[in-house]
């Protein structure tokens, strides 16, 4: 190859190289924009996850230590009238108590009521024809 041919080839390669560098620079700008957008959305997503996990932690901290037996006691001690197991379950649902870990919450509530009755903390009471109803012994 002559030096003239080599110079021409080098000039053509330089044009291609410059074009590719410009393409690369444009791509780098696009990549930088995408990186910033990614960081912003990832940060928002992480904050959302943190908020969600914080909410779940707070919810767990509020609910977990309060055993269902204690919740049943609290409902009965604050009730204006005798309550059935169904009434108590309804109250617990309105409070937002999570029954997901119980296969049959109504049966569990009934068992708690029977145990409280055996321990003389509640007694059977009639109320508006509902049976059985329980009231807290004050």
Model pLDDT for residues 17-34, shown as the tens digit of each residue: 878 855 755 454 555 445
120 dihedral zone (left: phi>0; alpha: psi -120 to 50; beta): left
Which own/partner contact pairs does 125-132 have at CB distance under 8 Å and 24+ positions apart?
125/82, 126/82, 127/81, 127/82, 127/83, 130/82, 130/84, 130/87, 131/84, 132/84
Mean pLDDT across the chain, nearest whole number?
A: 78
Per-residue model confidence as pLDDT tens digits over 66-100: 678 888 888 888 888 999 999 999 988 887 777 88
Q: Which domain holds residue 10?
A: 1-65
State how many domains the chain has. 2
Q: What CATH number is given to the structural domain containing 92?
A: 1.10.10.10
129 and 108, same domain (yes or no)? yes
Q: Which of 65, 94, 114 is the last residue of a domain?
A: 65
Q: What is the pTM of this model?
A: 0.54
Q: Which of 65, 84, 112 is the last residue of a domain?
A: 65
DSSP letter assigned to residue 125 = E
Percent of the chain with pLDDT over 70: 70
């Amino acid at each position: 190859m002559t030096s003239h041919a080599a110079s021409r080839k080098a000039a053509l390669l330089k044009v291609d190289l410059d074009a590719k560098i410009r393409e690369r620079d444009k791509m780098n700008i696009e990549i930088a924009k995408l990186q910033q957008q990614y960081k912003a959305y990832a940060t928002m997503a992480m904050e959302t996850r943190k908020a969600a996990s914080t909410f779940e932690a707070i919810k767990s901290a509020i609910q977990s230590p309060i055993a269902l037996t204690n919740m049943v006691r609290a409902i009965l001690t604050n009730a204006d009238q005798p309550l059935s197991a169904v009434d108590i379950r309804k109250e617990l649902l309105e409070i937002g108590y999570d029954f997901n870990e119980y296969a049959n919450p109504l049966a569990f509530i009934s068992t708690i009521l029977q145990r409280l009755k055996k321990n003389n903390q509640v007694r059977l009471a009639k109320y508006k024809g509902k049976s059985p109803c329980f009231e807290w012994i004050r």
